[in-house]
Amino acid sequence: MGRAEAFALSNPPLLSFWDGATSGFGYMTVLMVIAIIRELLGFGTLLGYPIVPEGFTPWTIMVTPPRSGIGWWMAIVLLAAMRKKIEKSPIPETLQGTAISSVLAALIYITDLIANNYGEVNISINNGKKDLLVKGGSPLLATLANEKVFLPSACGGKGTCGACKVKTLSDVGPVMPTEIPYLSPAELNDSIRLACQVKLKKDISIQIPEELFNIQQYRARVEKINDVTHDIKEVHLALPESMTISFKTGQYVQFEVPPYRKIKTPTFRAYSMASEPAENNKVELLIRLVPGGIVTTYVHEVLQEGQEINVTGPFGDFYVRDTDATMICVAGGSGMAPFKSIFKNMITTGTINDRVIWYFFGAKTSIDMYYLDWLYALDEKYPNFHFVAALSEPEEGTKWRGATGLITEVMDQYFQASINKDFPLEGYLCGSPGMLDACMDVMKKNNMQEDKIYFDKF
């Protein structure tokens, strides 16, 4: 029996509280209070025991258990005392639960006022090339964006894509558990952090690629919206007359939607550009509806032609390398976008026959396929261009002339029968994380080098 449990069981005021505090909503509340204690007291140990890991906030502690009995003991005593006080008050019994919740909410609010008041802090970028004096307390990613310094981010700062990496040249606090899955041991040793997970509490110094200073935000106008499948829309944007965008085919932009319905803040996500660089005053995107997706729901249900929207970019390392290697391209769904840009640009520049191209596109059923006429026409017109479409679940009675099966299986079959593996190969992938991993497995199995496989994983 742990110290906290023994203490609770030996004290009648805590006995009735013990069961609720160690399960369900009570468990979550206990974790919250532990985090509040740490934020208010400003230290992470008591009598030599860690209360919570350094750097945790009242929100992240809710998903990570406290690390010692003393932490449990403090939370249970505090909550039990609060509960007994409320029980003895004139508050009606039916409202006592609400009163406890209100007290917790007040504690959280007070904690936020105290813990998040860091005053002004200075951000030194690239050894003083750019210095920003900003209000502390917010994530580094959002703060930089407010100052027109835009870092790559595919998830909108939610900590789920790992794209917003910066090199820290000063102490910015301990690495958060949410960062660990996206940072290699070498990156951790090199002080690489995710900007969305670094909270500005003091002056810091960071290093970012110089090209990020050229990233711009555009107030674009929605020129046209087309349905290309039942769940994919083609969105055409016109940039302001005085602005152009210079990008490499395959790169992406961050597309921002304003607050709507129950969404209270602007939200952005990353989408590959389907337009070609020659059209430098326009941006074309392919946006697939994701059930429950904040941005995709807005695009499919709210966005109107003529509306203005914020677009930031270009970003990404997914672009065609200047070699003569055979290109093995694989996509599914809205992953068609960068390849539309790549192939159109190759046609415009007259380079589409300069190297062999294999383009594998997979879908579930025939209603998920699109641009087939254009792609088959390219296959017939250009000897070095090979288009292979595959349905994993073709409907009965469908007159389907393409391959059947998972696109990875179909690609593997072509590796065995048609693709010259003695010639240098490069892989270009765009699709879901699961599809990317499966494609990489097939490519590596067929002797492709991992560092010659390119993608942006979002």
Condensed to tens digits (0 to 9), the pLDDT of residues 291-338 reads 999 999 999 999 999 999 999 999 998 999 999 999 999 999 999 999
In the chain, the amino acid numbered 358 is W
CATH architecture designation of domain 120-212: Roll (3.10)
Q: What is the pLDDT of residues 150-191, one digit of tens each?
A: 999 988 888 999 999 999 999 999 999 999 999 999 999 999
Can you list the residues of the chain whose pLDDT is less than 70? 1-117, 458
pLDDT of residue 372: 97
Q: Domain coordinates of the chain in residue numbers?
A: 3-115, 120-212, 216-315, 326-454
pLDDT of residue 433: 86
pLDDT of residue 325: 97
pLDDT of residue 110: 62
The CATH number for 216-315, chosen from 3.30.2350.10, 2.40.37.10, 3.40.50.720, 2.40.30.10, is 2.40.30.10
Reduced 3-state DSSP string for the chain? CCHHHHHHHCCHHHHHHHHHHCCHHHHHHHHHHHHHHHHHHCCCEECCEECCCCCCCCCHHHHCCCCCHHHHHHHHHHHHHHHHHHHCCCCCHHHHHHHHHHHHHHHHHHHHHHHCCCCEEEEEECCCCEEEEEECCCEHHHHHHHCCCCCCCCCCCCCCCCCCEEEECCCCCCCCCCCHHHCCHHHHHCCEEEHHHCECCCCEEEECCHHHHHCEEEEEEEEEEEECCCCEEEEEEECCCCCCCCCCCCCEEEEEECCECCECCCEEEEEEECCCCCCCCEEEEEEECCCCCHHHHHHHHCCCCCCEEEEEEEECCCCCCCCCCEEEEEEEHHHHHHHHHHHHHHHHHCCCCCCCEEEEEEECCHHHCCCHHHHHHHHHHCCCEEEEEEECCCCCCCCCCCEECCHHHHHHHHHHHCCCCCCCEEEEEECCHHHHHHHHHHHHHCCCCHHHEECCCC
pTM attached to this predicted model: 0.74
pLDDT of residue 456: 82
pLDDT of residue 48: 41
pLDDT of residue 44: 43
Give the integer Cα–Cα distance in Å for 282 and 303: 18
Give the integer Cα–Cα distance in Å for 386 and 97: 67
If one looks up domain 326-454 in CATH, what number appears? 3.40.50.80
